Structure 1
């Protein structure tokens, strides 16, 4: 199942850091998503884009995970030659991850 079927996502940026949140629609899915969508999984998913560390923060009361991805925006908004300098499309890309629901 694709993450977009059970969650939505938002993105923010600061310098060369992208901040991507993953929020489940139904909190009953949070434990499974938490187990399957680790910082290592996200780092591997974005391996061609994110050159630095990926740190995951959990917000179970909101049914959300927050991933802070360092060295992710080609130098940052003022230096990047990318079409998506702010990395807003990174949230949509995260939702394309396949996970198995139990």
Structure 2
């Protein structure tokens, strides 16, 4: 199943760093996000785009994960208006990640 079935997302940027939040629609789905949406999987999902470290922060009281991706915006946001320099489309791309339909531990 696509991640978008369980969560929505929002992006932000600072220089050449992008951050993406992944927020569960339902609190009971948050543990599943924690298990399957890891920093390693996010880095692999964005191979070729993210060239630096990917850090994951857990916010259980919000049912959210926040990913900080370094060296992810092609040098920063002020180079060209012809591309998505702010990385706003990265949230949509992340929600396209496949996660297991049912893993028996939810």
Q: Tell me the TM-score normalized by structure 2.
A: 0.92
Number of aligned pairs?
102
Counterparts of 2:56 and 2:38 in 1: how far apart (Å)? 7
Gaps of 5+ in 1: none
Q: After superposing the two structures, state which structure 1 stretch, 38-47 or 73-82, moved more.
A: 73-82
Pairing of 1:5-20 with structure 2 (within 5 A): 5-20=5-20
Structure 1 residues 82, 76: closer, same or farther in 2, change over 3 A? Answer: farther
Kindly report the root-mean-square deviation, in angstroms, between the aligned alpha carbons of the 2 structures.
Answer: 1.2
Unaligned runs of 5+ in 2: none
**How far did 1:78 drift?**
1.8
The TM-score normalised by the length of structure 1 is 0.95
Stretches (4+) displaced over 6 A: none
Partner of 1:35: 35
Q: 2: distance between equivalents of 1:80 and 1:39?
A: 28
Q: Report the Cα offset of residue 79 of structure 1.
A: 3.2
